[in-house]
Structure 1
Amino acid sequence: MDFIADILMAGGAFGAALYCYVLSQRLKRFSTLEGGMGGAIAVLSSQVDEMTRALEKARGAAMVSASSLESLTERAEAVAARLELLLASMHDLPDTGGDPRAEQEAEAERRLRFVRRRSYRDEAEARA
Structure 2
Amino acid sequence: MLQYTADILMGLGALGATIYCMVLARRLKRFNQLENGMGGAIAVLSAQVDDMTKALNRAQATSASSAEQLRTVTERAEQATQRLELLLATMNQTPAPAAAAPAPPPAPEPAADARRHQRVLRRRLRPSDLEAAE
Tell me, yes or no, whether TM beats 0.5.
yes
For 1:88 and 1:14, locate their aligned partners in 2 and report how far apart those are by CA, in whole Å: 102
Q: How does 1:81-92 map to 2 (within 5 A)?
A: 81-92=82-93
Cα offset for 1:78?
0.7
Question: Match for residue 121 of structure 1?
Answer: none
Q: Summarize deviations over 1:65-116 as a string: whole Å, max 9, x none.
A: 11111110111111121122223334423478xx94x71437xxxxxxxxxx
For 1:87 and 1:104, locate their aligned partners in 2 and report how far apart those are by CA, in whole Å: 23
After superposing the two structures, state which structure 1 stretch, 25-34 or 53-62, moved more: 53-62
Question: Match for residue 116 of structure 1?
Answer: none
Question: Match for residue 105 of structure 1?
Answer: 107
After superposing the two structures, state which structure 1 stretch, 24-33 or 41-50, moved more: 41-50
Q: How does 1:18-57 map to 2 (within 5 A)?
A: 18-57=19-58
Q: Extract unaligned runs of 5+ from structure 1.
A: 107-128
2:15 pairs with 1:14: yes
Cα offset for 1:28?
0.4
For 1:89 and 1:13, locate their aligned partners in 2 and report how far apart those are by CA, in whole Å: 104
Q: Extract unaligned runs of 5+ from structure 2.
A: 109-134
Question: Match for residue 6 of structure 2?
Answer: 5
For 1:52 and 1:84, locate their aligned partners in 2 and report how far apart those are by CA, in whole Å: 47
> What value does the CA root-mean-square deviation take over the aligned residues?
2.3
Q: Give the TM-score of the pair, scaled to structure 1.
A: 0.69
Q: Summarize deviations over 1:31-90 as a string: whole Å, max 9, x none.
A: 111111111111111111211221122122112211111110111111121122223334
Question: Structure 1: which amino acid aligns with 2:49?
Answer: V
Runs of 4 or more, structure 1, over 2 Å off, are 86-96
Number of aligned positions between the proteins: 103
| Cα 1:5/1:83, change in 2 over 3 Å | same
Question: Match for residue 125 of structure 1?
Answer: none
Percent identity for Structure 1 against Structure 2? 53
Question: Match for residue 73 of structure 1?
Answer: 74
For 1:90 and 1:46, locate their aligned partners in 2 and report how far apart those are by CA, in whole Å: 65
Specify the SS of the correspondent of 2:36. Answer: coil
